[in-house]
Amino acid sequence: LLGASTPTSTPVGSGAFLNNAPDVRLGFVEQDVTCTVNTRLAALIMERKYGLRVTTSAYPDVDALFKALSAKDPTQRVDLTFCYRDPTDRTVRQRYFSYTDFIGSGYLVDDSGRYVIVSNSNVKAPLERSNACLYQFLNRMNWEDGLTFNGGVLQAQEVPKWYEENLVHIDRWASCD
Q: What is the largest CA-CA distance in the chain?
A: 43
Residue 76 lies in a domain: yes
Q: What is the mean pLDDT of residues 107-122?
A: 87
- Report the domain count for the chain: 1
Q: Is residue 55 part of a domain?
A: yes
Does 58 have pLDDT greater than 90? yes
Q: Is the pLDDT of residue 161 over 80?
A: yes
| Residue 132 falls inside a structural domain | yes
Give the whole-angstrom CA distance, residue 144 versus residue 128. 24
Asked if residue 81 belongs to a domain, the reply is: yes
| pLDDT score at 20 | 47
Domain assignment present for residue 157? The answer is no
Amino acid at 73: D
Give this prediction's pTM. 0.80
Residue 80 is assigned to a structural domain of this protein: yes
Residue 18: which pLDDT band, with cuts at 50, 70 and 90?
Answer: very low
- If one counts every other C-beta atom within 10 angstroms of the C-beta of residue 71, the result is 17
User: Cis omega (within 30 of 0) on the bond before 11?
Assistant: no
Strand intervals (E) in 12-60: 24-29, 54-59
80-87 and 24-29 as β-strands: parallel, antiparallel, unpaired?
parallel
Find the domain containing 110 and state its range.
9-145
Calpha distance 68→51 (Å, rounded): 24
Q: What is the pLDDT of residue 152?
A: 57
Q: Residue 51 falls within a domain, yes or no?
A: yes
Residue 137 lies in a domain: yes
CATH number where 124 lies = 3.40.190.10
